[in-house]
Amino acid sequence: MESTIVKSVDYNAYFGDNHVVKNVNIEIPRNNVIAVMGPSGCGKTTFLRGINRMHELIPGATAKGKIMLNNEDVMEMHPIFVRLKIGMVFQRPNPFPNLSIYDNVIAGYKLNGIKLPKAEKDKIVEHSLTRVALWKEVKDSLTKKGSFLSGGQQQRLCIARAVAMEPEVLLFDEPTSALDPISTSTVEELFHELKKNYTLIIVTHNMQQAARVSDRTAFFYMGELVEYDNTKQMFTNPTDIRTQNYITGRFS
Amino acid sequence: MSNHVKYRIGKSTGFQALTIVLATSCVIPLVAILMYIIKAGITKINWNFLTNVEKPVGEIGGGIAHALMGSILVIFFASLIAIPIGILCGIFLSENKKSRLAYWSRLSVDILQGVPSIVIGIVAYIWLVKPFGYSAWSGSIALSIMMLPIIIRSTEETLKMLPDTLREAAFALGMPFHRVILKVIVPCGISGILSGVMLSVARIAGETAPLLFTAFGYQFFSTNMNKPMETLPHLIFKYAITPYKDWQDLAWGASCILLIWVLLLNILTKLITRRWKVQL
Ligand SMILES: Nc1ncnc2c1ncn2[C@@H]1O[C@H](COP(=O)(O)OP(=O)(O)OP(=O)(O)O)[C@@H](O)[C@H]1O
Ligand SMILES: [Mg+2]
C-alpha cells in the first residue's frame, strides 16, 4: 500500500465572500502523478495554490480546513517552510530576468541568503538541470540570462529551480499551456522521470496529457471535487455524470 | 483618383507637416538657451574660476569653488534623506495598490509635486531656520522634500510594471517578503528607480527659491552643514543682479557649469537606463 503524502480535510477557499473551493477531501499517494481537471473557473488553481499557501498572498483570500503534509497541517506551519517543502511551477515560465541560468537554478538558495560552497552549487545546478533534461542544451551558456532561453527551455529551467530545493511535492499549474507540442512532450517525459523522487500534482486542461502522464485524476466542478480515481478508470468508466459529460466534451 | 481621396491625402500630408514643424519648434528655445549660456559662460571657466572663492568687486580671479562645494554637499545630503524614504514609499505604493493609506499617500505625493518651491522654502524657513538659524542642512531638507515626489512616483510606476508572476516565483521558493522585495523586485526595476533618482537630482540642482530661505549663501569656502553655505543657483542669483561686470561674468560661468551638470546627469540617466535595464 502506498503512503499518503498530501491530504486535504474539508478544505475551503474563498476570495472575499466568493466561495471558490468547497469542502475538498483528497488523499494523494507518494510518488504519484495526480492530474487535476475541470472546466475553467472551477477552482483548480485556487486549490493548488492552497496546498503551498500561495492562496493567502492574494488580498482578501482566505481558507478553512486542513492540508496535511506527512500528517502535519500546513496551515499550522510557517508558509515559508511549507513552500520549501512544496515547490510550484506556473503556467507562464517565469525565470528571474535579472539572474543568469546558473543563478536561476540555485535561486531558492541564493535569494534566501543560504550560503553554499561553490562545488556544492555546481553540483546542484548540474544535477537539477540534468533532471529536467536541460543540462546538455545550456551547459555552455550558464552565465547567460535565463530570459534568453526559449519558452520550453525557460519552463524546464523553472522546474529545475523548483527541483533544486529538493521539495517533497511539486505543483504544476497548466505547465505546458504556453508551450509548443515538442516542448510539451519533453516536459511530459520529465514528469515520468520526476515522479521517482517527487509527488506531482498537475492542473491541466489537456485530457490526453492527463491520460498520458497521471496515475490518478481529480475532477473538479464548481469548486467541488466531484470524482477522484485511477486515471484509467476515470477515463474509461467515470461514475459521476458531470465527469462523463466533461470527458466526452459535452461541456467545457 | 477621385477628388475626395486627393483631398484627404492632402489633409493628411498637411497634418503630418504641421506635427513636424511643431516638433522642431519646441527644440528651438532649448538650443537657443544652450547656445547663449555656453557662449556667454564657457570663456569665463578656467582653473581659477573653479578653485577660488569670492573676491571683492574689482579684484580679479574670483571663483565659485565655495558654491560648487556647497551645491555638492547640500544635494548629497538631500539625496541621502530623499532616496531611502522615496524608494521605500514607492515600494509601499506599488505593493499596496488598494489600501487606504496608499490612496492618501498617493494623493499627498501628487499635491506635493505641485507645491511651488518657494512655498517649500518658506515652510522650511519657519520650521527649521527660525528655531535653528540658517544652515546648509535646512537647505538639504527643503530640497529633499522636492525630490521625494519624483522618486516615489518613478519607483512606484517602475515596480507596478513588473509582472506579478515574478513576485509569485519568488514567494513560491519560500522567500520572505523583504527578500522578495530586495532581491527580486528592486533589482528587476533598478534602472527605472535609478533614473528617477537621477532626474530628481537634476531637477533640484538648479532650485534657488528654497535655498534663499535656508542655506542662505556665504562668501567663504565652508563644509560646515550647521552654517550657511553658498550654492550654485544662489550664487548665480546673487551675482547676476549686481551691477558689476566681473560678477555678472562669474554668474554666466556658474550658469554654464550648472547647465553642464544637469546635462551630464540627464545623459547619465539615459546610460543607466540602457545599461541596467532588465529584459523581462
Ligand atoms: N485573484 C482573484 N481574485 C478574486 N477572485 C478570483 C481570483 N482568482 C480566481 N478567482 C475566482 O475564483 C474562481 C476559481 O478560479 P481558479 O483560478 O481557481 O479557476 P481555475 O479552475 O484554475 O480556472 P482555469 O482553468 O481558467 O485556470 C473563479 O470563479 C474566479 O472568479
Ligand atoms: Mg487556473
Q: Which of B171, B173, B179 is opposite residue A165, by nearest beta carbon? A: B173
Query: Is residue B71 located within the same domain as residue B118?
Result: yes
Provide mean pLDDT across the span B45-57.
87
pLDDT digits (tens, 9 = 90+) for B168-215: 999 999 999 999 999 999 999 999 999 999 999 999 998 999 999 998
Q: How far apart are CA A138 and CA A129, in angstroms?
A: 9
Query: Is residue B16 located within the same domain as residue B134?
Result: no
Q: Write out the three cell numbers for B76.
A: 548629497
Residue of A18, A21, A9, A42 lying closest to A203 (CA atoms): A42
Protein residue with its CA nearest to atom 24 in ligand 1: A40
Least confident range of A78-92, B231-245, B263-277: B263-277
**Residue A205: half-sphere exposure toward Cβ, Cα within 13 Å:** 13
CATH (domain of B146): 1.10.3720.10
Contact A6, A67 (CB under 8 A): yes
CB contact under 8 A, A97 and B163: no
Residue of A84, A23, A10, A21 lying closest to A52 (CA atoms): A84
Query: Is residue B54 located within the same domain as residue B89?
Result: yes
The three-point CA angle A158-A161-A164 to 5° equals 150
Query: Is residue B151 located within the same domain as residue B255?
Result: yes
Ligand 1 — pocket residues by CB below 6 A? A 15, 18, 20, 38, 40-46, 58
Closest ligand (CA of A22): 1
Query: Is residue B31 located within the same domain as residue B108?
Result: no
Q: Write out the three cell numbers for A69.
A: 503534509
Which of the two residues, A170 and A146, has the higher pLDDT score? A170
Find cell 550657511 and name the residue.
B228
Q: How far apart are CA B224 and CA B133, in angstroms?
A: 13
Across the A/B interface, how many CB contacts are shorter than 8 Å? 70
Provide mean pLDDT across the span B133-155.
95
Question: Which chain A residue's Cα is nearest to B98?
Answer: A59
Distance in Å, CA A40 to ligand 1 centroid: 8
Question: Which chain A residue's Cα is nearest to B169?
Answer: A94
Query: Is residue B68 located within the same domain as residue B186?
Result: yes
Query: Is residue B232 located within the same domain as residue B99?
Result: yes
Q: Write out the three cell numbers for A36.
A: 487535476
Q: Which of B165, B184, B278 is opposite residue A111, by nearest beta carbon? A: B184
Provide mean pLDDT across the span A133-150.
89
User: What is the structure's pLDDT at A107?
Assistant: 94
Please state, rounded to an integer, the average pLDDT across all residues of chain B.
91
Residue B246 has pLDDT above 90, yes or no: no
Under 8 Å CB-to-CB from B42, ≥6 apart: which residues?
B256
Residue B277 has pLDDT above 90, yes or no: no
Query: Is residue B40 located within the same domain as residue B51?
Result: no
Distance in Å, CA A41 to ligand 2 centroid: 7
Closest ligand (CA of A36): 1
Provide mean pLDDT across the span A51-72.
92
Residue of A88, A39, A90 lying closest to A205 (CA atoms): A39
Residue A1 has pLDDT above 90, yes or no: no
Residue of A20, A53, A15, A47 lying closest to A34 (CA atoms): A47
Q: Which domain holds residue B269?
A: 47-276
Q: Which of B165, B183, B278 is opposite residue A111, by nearest beta carbon? A: B183
Query: Is residue B39 located within the same domain as residue B123?
Result: no
Kindly state whether B179 is in contact with chain A, defined as any CB-CB distance less than 8 angstroms: yes
Atom of ligand 1 at shortest distance to CA of A45? Answer: 22
Longest dimension (CA), chain B: 79
pLDDT digits (tens, 9 = 90+) for B125-139: 999 999 999 999 999
User: What is the structure's pLDDT at A251?
Assistant: 60
Contact B175, A111 (CB under 8 A): yes
Query: Is residue B240 located within the same domain as residue B129?
Result: yes
Query: Is residue B70 located within the same domain as residue B36?
Result: no
Number of domains in chain B: 2
Query: Is residue B92 located within the same domain as residue B166?
Result: yes
On whether ipTM exceeds 0.85, the answer is yes
User: In this structure, what DSSP letter does residue A3 have?
Assistant: P
Confidence of residue B22 (pLDDT cuts 50, 70, 90): very high
User: What is the structure's pLDDT at A45?
Assistant: 95
> Which residue(s) pair with A73 in the sheet?
A68
Confidence of residue B279 (pLDDT cuts 50, 70, 90): confident
Provide mean pLDDT across the span B51-63.
84
Distance in Å, CA B163 to ligand 2 centroid: 17
